[in-house]
Amino acid sequence: MSQLDIRHDLGTAVIVRDGEIDLFRYVYRPDTPQLESPKPYLHPIRTRAGHLVSLFRPWDHVWHKGITLSLPHVGEENFWGGPTYVHGRFYVQKDNNGAQLHRDFTRLEQVGGAVELAHELDWITQSGRRFISERRSLSARILSSAAWMLTFETELTNVSGRDIAIGSPTTKGRENAGYGGLFWRGPRAFTGGRLVTAEGSGSGDDVRGQRHEWMGFAGRHDDADATSLVLMVDDADNPHRPPQWFARSEEFACLNPAPFFSEELTVSDGATVGFHYGVGIADADEDAAPDLAAAVRKAL
């Protein structure tokens, strides 16, 4: 099995390499406008064959950046980016675009061929108030000759001094728009691709809002005769599981196991809520999704 390597661009990003291929770049201290709610992100993300499976700052939603942890409604604060949904007014730009700021690394090492990193962050409101303290861990490992896996784990502690309700545009009144949480934005070429679950495949209109333990997205590349598969698996201990999914394939490619899709989660002052996900990245089509989901679940 291949050994993954780490390159650290001090003060900015960690790159994880698989031989000559950069599997991903994790930018932990981004240079992002306040309007886009600055937050760490993974981009570019590639398969083992080197095919790009992420998109950065697309013109339609400039706050979409590869894979991020993004929350649009944290009390009255926006840690997603851009305008906030207000029922009856649609989206309104407010002075509430908070930032997730890297504080310290607690782990950055190679372990048994895998790569593990962990760091602490402060979620700061646009007004400068410390709202959430986070402990985040990421790891990467090879699953097979055609697939690798990212593990994403976070613990969010409410330090705001008051109870916080975490929700989505749907909990605020917009139908079938329950996005928020771990969010992947795919390449423009993936538009029109196939979303796949344990029950079959379809489009975003077919599966958005459904509950599944896992969901995958199979898309074709413009610059190669190849198909790639991105798949997310929800952990058994996550709140509100199995999650409803915010997913698209018609307007653009995205996947998001959304724990606050249609139900808010209130985190008491001083309390901690945790989430754990596995993400499989494969040089494969939708037929490989069940086996990839099983492999990610086993390693999660």
User: Do 219 and 193 form a contact (C-beta atoms < 8 A)?
Assistant: yes
Domains (ranges, CATH) in the chain?
4-299 (2.70.98)
Residue with tokens 């990839």: 292
Rounded-to-integer distance, Cα 233 and Cα 253, Å: 17
Tell me the Cα Rg of the chain: 18
Tell me what pLDDT residue 37 has. 98
Give the N- to C-terminal CA distance of the chain in Å, as an integer: 18
Burial of 31-55, coded b for 16+ CB within 10 Å and e otherwise, reads: ebeebbbbbbbbbbbbbbeebbbbb
Of 209, 200, 278, the residue nearest 237 (C-alpha)? 278
Residue 205 carries which side chain, given as an amino acid letter? D
User: Do 133 and 122 form a contact (C-beta atoms < 8 A)?
Assistant: yes
What contacts 237, CB < 8 A, 6 or more positions away?
Answer: 274, 276
Q: Tell me the pLDDT band of 198, cut-offs 50, 70 and 90.
A: very high
Please write the tens of the pLDDT for every residue from 215-228. Answer: 999 999 998 999 99
Please write the tens of the pLDDT for every residue from 118-149. Answer: 999 999 999 999 999 999 999 999 999 999 99
pTM, two decimal places: 0.98
Rounded-to-integer distance, Cα 295 and Cα 76, Å: 39
User: Do 108 and 65 form a contact (C-beta atoms < 8 A)?
Assistant: no
Q: Tell me the pLDDT band of 25, cut-offs 50, 70 and 90.
A: very high
Rounded-to-integer distance, Cα 13 and Cα 118, Å: 13
Region 171-179: what's the mean pLDDT? 98
Average pLDDT of the residues of the chain: 97
Please write the tens of the pLDDT for every residue from 95-120. Answer: 999 999 999 999 999 999 999 999 99
The tokens describing 264, both together, are: 């808010």
Choose between 79 and 1: higher pLDDT: 79
* pLDDT at residue 1 is higher than 60: no
What contacts 229, CB < 8 A, 6 or more positions away?
Answer: 216, 217, 218, 280, 281, 282, 283, 284, 285, 286, 288, 289, 292
